[in-house]
Amino acid sequence: MKQTDFARTLTLFLTDFLPGQRNVSPHTIASYRDTFKQFLLFMQDKQQVRPERISFATLTAPSIKDFLQWLETSRQVSISTRNQRLAAIHSFFRFAQAENPEILFESHLTLDQLACLFEQPDTSTKEGTS
């Protein structure tokens, strides 16, 4: 099976960008990885999209909002944990925008939806920056 644009970008984000370009701590990388492990589980169990089939075309603003709601209700995480997960998603989409500019208009996330996603509070710390 061919690797999807989402899978390729997520791999680069976790293995190259975060440790190499951002120089974030191993704990931050683990937290971001856990965010996407939970997201993949959510997509498979609640959205019926297997992880290897997730592409930027299958991502929608409602699916991300549903994921955040699922974290709060089904996983019973605190608001601060939910916001930490949202910060990881923000960071990933910022990276994806720069890495894959050709797919921005193909995505089911409209420009307004992307703007709404980016307007959410970012509670991430700026590790590795001066």
Chain segment 66-78, per-residue pLDDT in tens:
999 999 999 999 9
The residue range of the domain holding 54 is 5-119
- What does the pLDDT look like over 39-89, one tens digit per residue? 999 999 999 999 999 998 888 888 999 999 999 999 999 999 999 999 999
Is residue 22 domain-resident? yes
Nearest residue to 32 via CA among 99, 102, 108, 87: 87
Cβ neighbour number for residue 13 with a 10 Å cutoff:
24
For residue 109 the two structure tokens come to 């996330």
In this prediction the pTM is 0.78
> Running DSSP on this structure, what letter comes out for residue 54?
-
- pLDDT of residue 24 exceeding 70: yes
Above 80 in pLDDT, residue 90? yes
Any domain includes 108: yes
Q: What is the CATH number of the domain that holds 80?
A: 1.10.150
